Structure 1
Amino acid sequence: MYNPRNGGNARFGSLMSKVMGLLAFSFIFASVGSFFGITVGLGYGASLVAAIAGLVVLIALNFLIQRPGINLFLLYLFTFLEGLSLAPLLGYYLYASGSILLQAFLMTALTSLGLGIYAWTTKRDFSRLGDYLFFGLLLLIVAGLIQIFFHSPIFALIVALVGVAIFSGYMLYYIQRAKYMADTMPNAIGLTVSIFITVLNLFLYILELLSILSGNSNRR
């Protein structure tokens, strides 16, 4: 989706400035989508349709990321649909356990910020994490499918912990990878999508973890 090139520290700072701006608007659109879905009482069936539509938009963005204007439209449409697809889940926690939802938001924000700063400033090389993280992600998907048929609080707790670890690793990986990317809008949009998905999944697994520990899991 994006093209890594050595752009130097100055370009990295400029690229990350673009990404931070795009991320801010992306989460605003996602929040609007969630708010709209909660307000109209969006059901789980409709949320699945929104999630599938979001995947279609993401694929379209991958092909049209070099097209100015269209790429931004597709980015924000994707994030809106992602927020919309989460409306039933967020609505449940909002009315049943708002404190857990708030804790998950705060923990995700602090974790993402801390990991981002560390990846930005450290001299450690996280480039080799990519293959391990991808393999871990595949195992996580398989574990999620197993959870559909095998309900175990211990297994769910382990999956949630592994999910938090994997997407924390992805945060380190993407932020550091940005140091070697050219300062272009397509690269900024591609990186924004990657970080947005990473933060979103990190939030969901933290929410699941807190729910399990409180005995109030509803993610699956």
Structure 2
Amino acid sequence: MVNMQKTYDLAGSRQVVRHNVLRNTYWLLAISMIPTVLGAAAGVAFGVPIPRGFIGFFLFLAVAWGFIWGIEKNKNSGVGVGLLLGFTFFMGLMLTPLLTRTLGFSNGGSLIMMAFGGTAAVFATLASVATVSKRDFSAMGKWLFAGVIVVLLASLANIYFQMPALHIAISVLVIAIFSAYILYDVQQIVNGGETNYISATLALYLNVYNIFSALLSLLGLGGDRD
């Protein structure tokens, strides 16, 4: 009887921890959108020059990976939260070229809201599925990572080729991969595979960010110049 009680208490304690991680992750994810919006607004308002081409690509990767390394290194302290919010501000700045081009359309504001609404709907739906589903999504991890590598290589190639069809294919692939990552990452939290809410927020933020930017890029193809 005592052993059964201990087992029950341990299971209940683990459930509470998972619930707290998930709750804190969603809160921090929501908060991280504030510096993202501020960064994007500052970039558009002040016309912040964002390096393009191969130099811009590798400079972005270097800064982004530097932030990610710092966040993971300090994920058990408040420094990690500060770095995460700094990273989201930087990522907002990186949206400057896409937002500037989109706002050049007469329906640019509507396209941005459509991309935001679509991203929110995708996240809410897939996060809910991952929370209640009995299916194990952990096996997708290695395939999704391979997909990210393919996207990076294709994006690098398209800097040289500048092929509209390849750009569309990359955007569609990004939406598919990072939508699947939502299933994977949320279930990692629910099942106890991820117990640090800062790391969990970083993962979900990257999913949401990439889906939004790829979706906005696709919607921009139907932008109205009139």
TM-score between both structures, scaled by the size of structure 2: 0.82
* Residue 88 (structure 1) aligned with residue 97 (structure 2): yes
Correspondent of 2:32 among 26, 30, 37: 26
Match of residue 42 from structure 1: 48
Amino acid corresponding to residue 79 of structure 2 in structure 1: I
Match of residue 217 from structure 2: 208
CA distance in 1, matches of 2:205, 2:75: 16
Match of residue 128 from structure 1: 139
* Residue 193 (structure 1) aligned with residue 202 (structure 2): yes
Match of residue 184 from structure 2: 173
CA-CA distance at 1:90 after TM superposition: 1.5
Correspondent of 1:77 among 77, 81, 86: 86
Q: Quick check: 1:32–1:80 contact (8 Å CA) kept in 2?
A: yes
Match of residue 63 from structure 1: 73
Q: How many residues align?
A: 206
Q: 1:175 is paired with a residue of what secondary structure?
A: helix
Q: Greater relative contact order (Cα 8 A, min sep 6): structure 1 or 2?
A: 1
Match of residue 3 from structure 1: none
Cα deviation, 1:79-102, whole Å, max 9, x if unaligned, reads 111112222321321242222222
CA-CA distance at 1:147 after TM superposition: 1.4
Amino acid corresponding to residue 102 of structure 1 in structure 2: M
CA distance in 1, matches of 2:142, 2:62: 26
Q: Quick check: 1:33–1:82 contact (8 Å CA) kept in 2?
A: yes
Amino acid corresponding to residue 169 of structure 2 in structure 1: I
CA distance in 2, matches of 1:52, 1:183: 25
Query: Closer, same or farther in 2 for the Cα pair 1:137/1:54, shift >3 Å?
Result: closer
Amino acid corresponding to residue 69 of structure 1 in structure 2: G
CA distance in 1, matches of 2:157, 2:64: 24
CA-CA distance at 1:182 after TM superposition: 7.4
Correspondent of 1:151 among 145, 162, 178: 162
Bigger mean CA deviation after superposition, 103-112 or 149-158? 149-158
CA distance in 2, matches of 1:194, 1:29: 17
Q: Quick check: 2:95–2:213 contact (8 Å CA) kept in 1?
A: no
Q: Quick check: 1:112–1:171 contact (8 Å CA) kept in 2?
A: yes
Aligned-pair RMSD on alpha carbons? 2.3
**Runs of at least 5 residues in structure 2 that lack an aligned partner in the other structure:** 1-10
Bigger mean CA deviation after superposition, 156-165 or 20-29? 156-165
CA-CA distance at 1:13 after TM superposition: 1.8
Amino acid corresponding to residue 170 of structure 1 in structure 2: Y
Query: Closer, same or farther in 2 for the Cα pair 1:37/1:52, shift >3 Å?
Result: farther
Greater C-alpha radius of gyration: 2
Amino acid corresponding to residue 120 of structure 2 in structure 1: A
Q: What is the percentage of aligned positions where both structures have the same residue?
A: 30
CA-CA distance at 1:175 after TM superposition: 0.3
CA distance in 2, matches of 1:162, 1:26: 25
CA-CA distance at 1:51 after TM superposition: 6.9
CA distance in 1, matches of 2:28, 2:85: 9
